[in-house]
């Protein structure tokens, strides 16, 4: 059984503006690899679909300098380049893309039509594909929020040029952290990777490259306790988790890659989420709520990659198309 969607409670004047002409077959929330792929499939199927994106199409992928594990590109491909091509393909088949942040989802009273409340617009739809992705987690330590944009960053690919010949700290040990450390090493004088464990979690080929790079050094079994600086980053304080010893190191930049949090705040109480707030689906991308599907990094799963996001977007679109065909036989 799915969780109950909130019943529609719009003012009368807004109800009057919602006609059958405003009714979409499906609304896609999020324009990353999963959402855009779903858009390609739905547009080719001539579904009346619209994609809502709160920032720029491409998702986290546009922040990646080079993608080496996407099939068909033996020499690798730039994240922005790949996502631009996918977006162009979706637009070619007629996908409509609009911009805004989704705030709430509701059911219209006594029928299966869903309402999506965005910042400046309300959408009526028979089905929803949630592909809202995830965003970088915060450490929540002193100095992090105060110095954000003043040396604290969550995107090395975006901000590396600002740290030419400077010392930077990278926090994390997964693929993203090491990929970003390698990119930062092209600009910075020295990159110090701080990891809370005694070994990296990143893919072996990335580890090999990092260990071979003379600009990159490692501090193991340690965490940041605070970030020092007034108007800009001046250093960080570290604590060794094994010895308890604390120390300060000087740096001008701090890049944090300690995981991601799913963008599901607008879905709490609507679909079933796991303990980390990711959306639980079945193999057909169905959520616990009828007519609501999910794909990409926002799903509860083990592997979050561009290729899996694209595959899930295709699967979600295929199953939504079947759902829409069945739904249109029901009076609304």
Catalytic residue among 22, 25, 159, 221: 159
pLDDT, position 19: 45
Q: What is this structure's pTM?
A: 0.82
CATH superfamily of 6-135+260-327: FAD/NAD(P)-binding domain (3.50.50.60)
Note whether 6-135+260-327 and 152-256 share their fold: yes
pLDDT, position 268: 87
pLDDT, position 329: 64
pLDDT, position 331: 43
Domain ranges for the chain: 6-135+260-327, 152-256
Q: Dmax over Cα atoms in the chain, in whole Å?
A: 68
Q: Which residues of 13-26 are buried (b: 16+ CB within 10 A; e: fewer)?
A: eeeeebeeeeebbb
* 22 assigned to active site: no
Please state the separation of Cα 246 from the chain's center in Å.
34
pLDDT in tens, the chain (332 residues): 445 555 454 444 444 444 444 799 999 999 999 999 999 999 999 999 999 999 889 988 888 888 888 999 999 999 999 999 999 999 999 999 999 999 999 876 556 889 999 988 999 999 999 999 999 999 999 999 999 999 999 999 889 999 999 999 999 999 999 999 999 999 999 999 999 999 999 999 999 999 999 999 999 999 999 999 999 999 999 999 999 999 999 999 999 999 999 999 999 889 999 999 999 999 999 999 999 999 999 999 988 899 999 999 999 999 999 999 987 765 44
- Fold classification of 152-256 (topology level): FAD/NAD(P)-binding domain (3.50.50)
Catalytic residue among 22, 25, 155, 221: 155
């Amino acid at each position: 059984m799915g969780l109950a969607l909130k019943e529609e409670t719009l003012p009368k004047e807004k109800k009057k503006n919602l006609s059958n002409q405003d009714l979409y077959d499906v609304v896609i929330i999020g324009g990353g690899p999963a959402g855009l792929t779903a858009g390609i499939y739905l547009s080719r199927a001539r579904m009346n679909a619209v994609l809502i994106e709160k920032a720029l199409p491409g998702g986290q992928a546009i922040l990646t300098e080079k993608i080496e594990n996407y099939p068909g590109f033996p020499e690798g491909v730039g994240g922005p380049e790949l996502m631009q091509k996918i977006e162009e393909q979706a637009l070619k088949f007629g996908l409509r893309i609009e911009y805004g942040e989704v705030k709430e989802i509701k059911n219209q009273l006594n029928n299966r039509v869903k309402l999506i409340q965005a910042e400046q617009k309300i959408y009526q739809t028979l089905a929803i594909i949630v592909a809202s992705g995830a965003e970088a987690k915060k450490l929540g330590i002193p100095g992090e929020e105060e110095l954000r944009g003043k040396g604290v960053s969550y995107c090395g690919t975006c901000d590396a040029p600002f740290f030419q010949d400077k010392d930077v700290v990278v926090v994390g040990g997964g693929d993203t952290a090491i990929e970003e450390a390698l990119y930062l090493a092209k600009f910075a004088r020295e990159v110090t990777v701080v990891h809370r464990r005694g070994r990296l979690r990143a893919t072996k080929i990335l580890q090999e490259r990092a260990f071979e790079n003379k600009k990159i050094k490692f501090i193991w079994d340690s965490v940041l306790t605070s970030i020092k600086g007034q108007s800009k980053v001046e250093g960080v304080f570290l604590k060794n988790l094994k010895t308890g010893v604390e120390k300060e190191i000087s740096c001008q930049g701090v890049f944090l890659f300690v995981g991601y949090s799913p963008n599901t705040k607008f879905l709490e109480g609507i679909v079933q989420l796991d303990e980390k707030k990711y959306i639980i689906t079945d193999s057909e991308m169905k959520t616990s709520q009828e007519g609501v599907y999910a794909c990409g990094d926002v799903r509860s799963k083990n592997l979050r990659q561009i290729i899996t996001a694209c595959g899930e977007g295709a699967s979600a679109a295929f199953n939504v198309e079947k759902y829409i065909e069945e739904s249109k036989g029901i009076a609304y």
